[in-house]
Structure 1
Amino acid sequence: MNQNNDKLTEQEGLNINADENLSGTEHLTDPVEETQLDALETELNESKDKYLRLAAEFDNFRRRTKKEREEFSQIANKDIVLALLEVLDDADRATPQIEASEDKKLKEGISLVFNKLRNLLQAKGLKVMEAKGADFDPDLHEAITEIPAPSEEFVGKIVDEVIKGYYLNDKIIRHAKVVVGK
């Protein structure tokens, strides 16, 4: 009987395996396969998104650490420069006394040392704050006292500078101590 069934299927052109394929068990356009493909695409997109976010986060981390290193080196310089500002102030106070001296070699030697100190600090980013004659700015200046202005144009302006203010790499490291006209 099996032989008769086999002959019938061959004569009619039926293939048992083809019937199984038509039933959907092995077909490529199977809806189960499409949902798996969609799931894989979703997973791929999520992986790409994670990768892009991780790359961006790493780039931000690299920039942030570079900036922190630069700021740290500037802070380290700041401590040294602040300590040397006292020496620079003493040099500025001593300069008029040295200029009054008659010993030319002494004047030359000391002015050479003072100029070398000033140039070294300028090379490290130190700038003198110009305050005398400028408008008083509490963000830049520290008012020690107020005096009557010698003329109307000096009202609210800096009449005298007691201690110079300084910038280090365009940041204030010491406020100028000034006398303001009222």
Structure 2
Amino acid sequence: MNNKENELKDNGHADKEQNQQNIDDAAINFNSDDSLAGTTHLNDELASEEDDRIQKLTEELKEANDKYLRLAAEFDNYRKRNAKERNELIKSAGEDVIKSLLDILDDSERAAQQLELSDDIKTNKEGVFLVFNKLKNVLQGRGLKAMESKEQEFNPELHEAITEIPAPTEALQGKVLDEVQKGYFLNDKIIRHAKVVVGK
């Protein structure tokens, strides 16, 4: 009888331990499922934040790209407009100079007719000088200035030496003795070098 009671007691104790083990396992499983649910929820939040960030960066990139395209188009328009204005300025500048020379062309034609009709050398000479002076004044009014070279020190930046000849005096050595072709400045910029003969 005692053995029977002991056996029942041991079985009851074993069942009790088994039940406790089952409860502990269930608690562990429950906690584990709860932890997984929390991790899944955290992963969903992180994924949502990442999607928002990607969308924001995509919008910023699109906006920057639009700005770049607009700026490139504006620059291209500016470049074309500037080139067109420059061409028009060059054309109109040439037109302006030619218009100012038309009066001199008219005077030259009248002078040529006068030379054919008249043998009066003095009158013809005066007419030619009038046309020449008018041309000179128009060009000077446009900023043209003749270079003074004769008896000046030879300067390779201003002069182009055609030849060298012995200088008549020691003071003229290395200086311009004769001017074969005049040099000119336009608004202080050299537009033609003087062709000169230099003393040695």
Aligned CA distance change for structure 1 residues 37 and 136 (closer, same or farther; 3 Å): same
| CA deviations over 1:66-92 (Å, ceiling 9, x no partner) | 4454456667869xx9xx9xxxxxxxx
Aligned equivalent of 2:36: none
Which residue of 11, 27, 41 maps to 2:60? 41
Q: Secondary structure at the match of 2:167?
A: coil
* Aligned twin of 2:146: 128
Question: Which of these two proteins has the greater Rg computed from alpha carbons?
Answer: 2
Gaps of 5+ in 2: 1-40, 105-119
Q: Which amino acid aligns with 1:151?
A: T
Q: Compute the TM-score of the two structures, normalised by the length of structure 2.
A: 0.51
Which 10-residue stretch deviates more, 34-43 or 56-65? 56-65
The answer for unaligned runs of 5 or more in structure 1 is 1-21, 85-100
Describe the shift of the 1:34–1:67 C-alpha distance in structure 2 as closer, same or farther (beyond 3 A): same
Matched, 1:113 2:138: no
- In the TM superposition, what is the alpha-carbon distance from 1:120 to its structure 2 partner? 1.8
- In structure 2, distance between residues paired with 1:72 and 1:140: 29
| Change in 2 beyond 3 A, CA 1:57/1:134 | farther
Separation in 1, partners of 2:83, 2:152: 37
Which of 148, 152, 155 is the equivalent residue of 2:166? 148
Q: CA deviation at 1:118?
A: 0.9
Paired with 2:171 and 2:69, the residues of 1 have a C-alpha distance of 64
CA-to-aligned-CA distance 1:7-36 (integer Å, 9 cap, x gap): xxxxxxxxxxxxxxx8999xxx64313211
Q: How far is 1:150 from its partner?
A: 3.2
Q: Look up the equivalent residue of 2:158 and give its one-letter code.
A: L
The count of residues paired between Structure 1 and Structure 2 equals: 139
Contact kept in structure 2, 1:24 and 1:30, CA below 8 Å: no
| Counterpart-to-counterpart distance in 2, 1:50 and 1:154 | 67
Hey, which of these two has a bigger chunk of helix by percent? 2
* 8 Å Cα contact 1:159-1:178 kept in structure 2: yes
Between the two structures, name the one with larger relative contact order (CA 8 Å, sep ≥ 6): 1
1:130–1:146 Cα change, 3 Å:
same
- 1:39 Cα deviation after fit: 0.5
Shift of 1:137: 3.1
Report if aligned partners of 1:129, 1:166 keep a CA contact under 8 Å in 2: yes
